[in-house]
Structure 1
């Protein structure tokens, strides 16, 4: 196939799947909302199960539920009928995922779950299937055809299952009032986690705290900037920050002044520096730096000098 033909074919596949996903909107009904309420009110966990590609989708939905405040675990349907049914506890709700709803493992598993008197939710493309008839609630994930040209390989159907699982998880998130702070508790690692929990104080507490007074001689200002390795120093008048001197200010001063031996901090500082609260989120510091096209911010704690946040700190932390 030529490149143009491949690209055209790929667009056709995307259109097929997009159409199927758009159609799911019309399949959301009272059974869906009843399932959401049942999970929300449950004292147990959500057990997701399936076979083949549906099992892989079930695993992903488990991850989404756990990260958004709904305890969930995965149980493979084949393993369930060979001993893993002990995974299911009295108050647990079971979600079984199957396109046809008629696979042999599902036909064995569904009645067993019902015998345990656990609530059974089906995500299936066939409401009239064995699974659909056994389930207390059915989330209809019907698709007209797979993106596979032979209409065999699970493609569109698994995408629909995944989207239905996302809809379920996010509705539960909404009911729980799950906030970004809650989300951060479950995502402490990596760049994503840091954008949610890392505060300016976590950075300033690790940095040096360069500072001079209004009357500090220029030589001592240079020493203070150099030894603290942040390319900046705050200028204080008693406990109040009244200015900032950066290495850029020093370069501009040297290029425009012939005699700088008598200069003091007050003579070269930039007044009214950009500041941020020491309790603010680090991601807010990044936004302020980018907005003002600067590389350092003065951090304040109840109006008092708390330290410096440098753009390099945010790069090191993986915020950028």
Structure 2
């Protein structure tokens, strides 16, 4: 790293697709165009990509958006956002039906169904939400590509088996604006989850770092002592109790991969039918055969982790008005909840 560069480490919420990098220009730095300076200090950065990022507002100096010809000065604080481990695979547009809740020239809000991966990756190159988004946007603007709109506007993601609301940007400016809101924790997100056990407190807060599981690398684990992983906070509130399972609402203060699933398991309440974390087994209840059959029927009704992104609120990148959306529980979760509701009243 060059001597004229001091980089300040930033937290990178893994659920989000952009990372934030902060730099302070050294006292001995001569005036220099910022696009050239950034290109010199970021590995793999091209002049064209840097300029596009600056034009779209992905870079600020001392809190203000600048042009590519801005001359940096000693002490300037530079904040830049860039894609985290961007996929180098070609994004193939596919005519996949999308449940569009809202759309205008800047943003689109989708209601994601279960069993759909959000974006292409190893083992899932087609059939993802983003394949459908790319097709949809290209019908509106055939000249659109990943140079002008990286990853076709995706700024956050939810798990394959989680249903509910997700927002995407349709312009570079909108993507930069939304990414900043996620970093500043101003995006409102409320999830509904069915968890095993009778949650003791009516509401509470879980504070525990999250990192990859030491033994099972595809899973994540909670590290309450903070000795490893990234800071994570989840607020929860009980919505309804069914003796052996509980319906809860979770509000994310941070956005980590599998955060709700890991945090609820950490306090002894694994999500219902979450096979990756052991929720596809009977964790609470009786030993009777009829109860086992009842639970198996519930698993069949909702053959996935019972988690739904119910609400989403953000500031519109163009109008600056507060936008708020709510998605009703999907049929599979609604059916299971009703089944438990009937079971405890018998």
The TM-score bracket by the shorter chain reads under 0.3
- When Rg is computed on C-alpha atoms for both structures, the one with the higher figure is 1
Q: TM-score, normalised by structure 2?
A: 0.21
| Higher strand proportion | 2
TM-score (norm. length: structure 1): 0.22
